[in-house]
Amino acid sequence: MLELKDIQAAAARLVGQVLDTPFVESRTISQLTGCQVFLKFENLQYTASFKERGACNKLAQLGANERARGVIAMSAGNHAQGVAYHAQRLGIRAVIVMPRFTPGVKVERTRGFGAEVVLHGDTLDESRTHARELAAREGLVFVHPYDDEDIVAGQGTVALEMLREQPDLDTLVVAIGGGGLIAGMATAAKAIRPGIEIIGVQTERFPAMVNAIKGTHLPQGTSTIAEGIAVGTPGVITEAIVRQKVDDLLLVDEGDIEQAIVMLLEIEKTLVEGAGAAGLAALIKHPQRFAGKRVGLVLCGGNIDPMLLASIIERGMVRAGRLARIQVNARDVPGNLARITATVADAGANIDEVHHQRAFTLLAAQNVAIELVLQTRGREHIAQVIERLQQAGFETALL
C-alpha cells in the first residue's frame, strides 16, 4: 500500500511543475461555521484543479518507450486538463476521451492544451470503456483519474503542504469522487500526524464511496452540480485506503453546495466549482460535527460553466432574501401600476421584473395580479416592502 515516502518523492518531482498553492485562514467563514477554517486554494493551479499533481507525477515517471507511445485518459474535465497540460509540457501525445455531456468550456480548454479530444458515451463508465479500447488498439498508456498509485501519490502532496503550514490541524475535510485526493491526503496526513481526523464528503446524488464503505444502498442520481465528484464506482486502490485511514464520510445536498459556492465567491472572492465547494458544504450542513476544531478544507477545483454559475448566484440571492417575488392584487385602472412601483421605490427596493396576469387568475374581472421580482437587502426588507404596499391599500403576498 502507498506510503508517506511515495508522496514525499512525488512532492520532489512536482517542485517547479505545479503551484504550492496558498493555505490561509478565513476569519469570516470561521465565524459563520463555528470552527477555525483554513482554505487550500487548489483552484489557483494553472488548470484550476489539484488534478495536475497526480497527472504530473504519473507522466514524469514514464519511460522513453511509454512517452513515445503517448497517453490516453478518460475524464469529464479536470483530470483531462491536467493530463493534457503536462503531456504538452513534456512533449507527449495525449488523447482524452470525454462524455458527450461535458461542458463545452472544458472540452475547448482541453483541446487548447494540445490534446486530441474524443467525445464518446453518455456516462463516465462508457467513456472509460472506450478509452481502454483505444489504448489497446493504439498502444497508448492509460492514465487513470484516480485508481493508480502514482496518481494518488501526486494528489497526496496537497496534505504535505497543508500540514507544513498548519501542523496542528485537527481535521481535514476532502471531497470524494473516485477517491484519489482523499486517499493520498489521508496516507500523508496520518503518517505525519496520526491523531488527525480525515473526513470525506460526497453528494447525496453520488454516494458510491459511502455505499462501499458503510455497506449502505443509497440510490445514485443522474446529475449534480458537483460533476467533478460524480463517480459511480470508487477505485479499488482508493477504497482500500479510505477504508483504513478515513475516519468518517458525510453527505451534502445540492443546496448546500450552491450555498458554499456563493459564500466563497462573496467572502473570499474566489471561484470554485461544485466539487470544490463540497468541503465547505459539509461544514454548513454539519456545524456541530466541527465545532471548535481547526479544519483544513481543499478548494479542489475552479472550473465551472459560466451559465451554471449565473444560475447558482441568482438562486443564492433568492435563498438569502436578496431577490424576492411578490404578488400584488389591484384594480386594473390607469395609474395603479405607477402607485405600486412608487411605493416599492419609497421602501428602498429595486424592481427587476414586472408581469401582469389577467387571464390566469381567480381575481374578479377588472382586477389584475401583478408579479414583481425585487432586489432587496434581505428578508426583513422584503417584509417592510410588503407592509408598505399593504398600507397603501394593495393586497400583497410573498410568492
Domain edges within the chain = 4-49+148-316, 53-142, 321-398
Q: Above 80 in pLDDT, residue 125?
A: no
Q: Which one, of 328, 338, 373, lies nearest residue 353 by Cα? A: 373
Cβ contact 47:27 at 8 Å: no
Percent of the chain topping pLDDT 90: 84
Q: List pLDDT tens digits, range 140-162.
A: 999 999 999 999 999 999 999 99
Q: Above 80 in pLDDT, residue 103?
A: no
Neighbours of 344 (CB within 10 A): 21
- Model-level pTM greater than 0.85? yes
- Superfamily of 321-398 according to CATH: ACT domain (3.30.70.260)
Map grid coordinates 432587496 to a residue.
376
Give the right CATH number for 53-142 from 3.10.129.10, 3.40.50.1100, 3.30.470.20, 3.60.110.10: 3.40.50.1100
Tell me the three state secondary structure of residue 286.
coil
Q: List pLDDT tens digits, range 171-183.
A: 999 999 999 999 9
Residues in the chain: 399
- 3-state SS, 217-267, equals CCCCCCCCCCHHHCCCCCCHHHHHHHHHHCCEEEEECHHHHHHHHHHHHHH
| 4-49+148-316 and 53-142 share one fold | yes
As beta bridge partners, residue 203 has 252
Q: Above 80 in pLDDT, residue 17?
A: yes
Q: Which CATH class is domain 4-49+148-316?
A: alpha beta
For residue 128, the model assigns a pLDDT of 86
Q: Tell me which amino acid residue 342 is.
A: A
Please give the residue that has the higher pLDDT: either 122 or 160.
Answer: 160
Instruction: Average the pLDDT over each of 108-112, 306-310, 364-368 and give the range with the smallest value.
Output: 364-368
